[in-house]
Amino acid sequence: MSVFSGVIANGGSLSGAIPIGNKIITGIMMPAGWDNAALTFQVSVDGGASWSNLFDSSGNEVSFQAAASRFIAVDPTLWIGINHIKIRSGTAAAVVNQTAERSLRLVGQ
């Protein structure tokens, strides 16, 4: 198991790039503080040179209902081939700025 940290800055909605290498994400540990917002993602398959919003095969933005101190189990097949991730508070169409710095942990295999 590997754990990767992502930080969303105070007043921000998007974490910095999180290099996960060849690991597959299986869960997300939410911080004790979290302003109400869904989680969505930007991903890179080329080491962070280019970024895309993460959508599923049906054309829906991949989104998780997030809450403080929650562990979110995720479908590992969503992350195959991805080597860098940015975590977003809110959706691509409607970001939600966090009112304090938020540190999230991604669990990978």
* Residue 80: half-sphere exposure toward Cβ, Cα within 13 Å: 5
When pLDDT is averaged across residues 96-108 and rounded to a whole number, the result is 98
Stretch 95-108: mean pLDDT:
98
2-108, CATH topology level: Jelly Rolls (2.60.120)
**Interval 20-29: pLDDT, tens:** 999 999 999 9
pLDDT at 25: 97
Burial of 66 (0-12, 13-18, 19+ CB in 10 A): buried
| Residue-range domain boundaries for the chain | 2-108
pLDDT digits (tens, 9 = 90+) for 45-91: 999 999 999 999 999 999 999 999 999 999 999 999 999 999 999 99
The encoded tokens of residue 43 equal 């991903």
